[in-house]
């Protein structure tokens, strides 16, 4: 069964510190993997997208990595800010040729940044 | 501004009273979908639409209906809501298919008493 699992479920860090969120998936074959940020009471917003052949991609203070061999991805947040407090969701898209029309969502990591 | 809008944002209703949640996008996207989000379960797809007049079931379609008469609109209909449909609902759209970036609406918090 295709699954996406994220860890930890929740995380509390001090402002200015770094943190890393993990995503393990079994979806195969896959088209891309995205990390979404979901602020409380809002819809998710895409942070990064990684295709099968990419290892690292950065978006400001956010850096995503992908190891397609071990089926693991991580999201590293540098110099955290209070505005980083949110849920971070890992989403895997199946490869287009499979004809699938559904995404595979992790349950998210709830990050709280405290002053 | 490119966006997905949903209405209403909050709704409290009673069991069996039909309701519709509207969704509209202004990005000329072909693909639209509805999700529900429940604690510990993440986002689950209810229905999706590849284009006008083309809709199909997602993972949890029971108790819901949709229609896609226009490209920009994709309403979610609950003919006879039940308490287990209490949830946070998101509409999303993307350019062509599920593989493209999904743009989510702000969400609709539904409570069925």
- For A91-101, what is each residue's pLDDT tens digit? 998 876 556 67
DSSP letter, residue B52: T
DSSP 3-state of A83:
helix
Least confident of A26-30, A48-52, A62-66, B60-64: A26-30
Contacts of A57 in chain B (CB under 8 A): none
> Strand order in A72-77's β-sheet?
A4-7, A19-25, A72-77, A62-67, A56-59
Contacts of A87 in chain B (CB under 8 A): none
The Cβ of residue A28 has, within 10 Å, a number of other Cβ atoms equal to: 12
Instruction: Tell me the pLDDT tens digit for each residue of B45-81.
Output: 999 999 999 999 999 999 999 999 999 999 999 999 9
- Token pair 């088209």 in the structure block, residue: A31
Contact A105 B43 (CB under 8 A): yes
- Rounded CA separation B74/A29 (Å): 30
In order of A5, A28, A80, B84, the CA distances from A1 in angstroms are 12, 10, 35, 25
Closest to A106 (Cβ–Cβ): which among B42, B59, B104? B42
Instruction: Tell me the pLDDT tens digit for each residue of B5-34.
Output: 999 999 999 999 999 999 999 999 999 999
């Amino acid at each position: 069964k295709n699954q996406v699992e994220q860890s930890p479920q929740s995380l509390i860090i001090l402002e200015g510190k770094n943190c890393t969120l993990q995503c393990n998936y079994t979806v195969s074959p896959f088209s891309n993997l995205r990390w979404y940020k979901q602020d409380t009471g809002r819809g998710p917003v895409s942070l990064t997208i990684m295709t099968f052949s990419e290892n690292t991609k950065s978006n400001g203070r956010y850096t995503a990595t992908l190891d397609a061999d071990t089926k693991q991805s991580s999201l590293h947040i540098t110099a955290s800010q209070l505005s980083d407090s949110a849920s971070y969701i890992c989403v895997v898209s199946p490869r287009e040729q499979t004809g699938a029309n559904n995404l595979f969502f992790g349950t998210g990591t709830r990050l709280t940044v405290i002053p | 501004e490119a966006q997905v809008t949903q209405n209403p944002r909050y709704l409290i209703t009673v069991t069996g009273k039909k309701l519709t949640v509207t969704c509209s996008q202004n990005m000329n996207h072909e693909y639209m979908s509805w999700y529900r989000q429940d604690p510990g379960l993440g986002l689950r797809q209810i229905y999706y639409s590849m284009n006008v007049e083309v809709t199909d079931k997602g993972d949890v379609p029971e108790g819901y209906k949709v229609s896609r008469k226009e490209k920009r609109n994709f309403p979610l209909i609950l003919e006879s809501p039940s308490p287990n449909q209490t949830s946070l609902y998101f509409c999303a759209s993307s350019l062509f298919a599920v593989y493209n970036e999904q743009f989510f609406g702000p969400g609709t918090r539904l409570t069925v008493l």
